[in-house]
Amino acid sequence: MTRSVPVVQAKASFSALLAEVEAGAEVRITRRGRTVARLVPEAAISAASLFEPFWRGDSPEIEAPDDAPPEAVAVID
**For residue range 33-69, what is the model confidence (pLDDT) as tens digits?**
999 999 999 988 888 887 777 777 766 677 777 888 8
pLDDT of 5 > 70? The answer is yes
CA distance 11 to 39: 13
Start-to-end CA span in the chain (Å)? 70
Q: Could you tell me the domains of the chain?
A: 2-56 (3.40.1620.10)
Instruction: Identify whether the C-beta of residue 31 lies closer than 8 Å to the C-beta of residue 55.
Output: no
Instruction: Identify whether the C-beta of residue 31 lies closer than 8 Å to the C-beta of residue 43.
Output: no
The H or E element containing residue 8 is helix 7-12
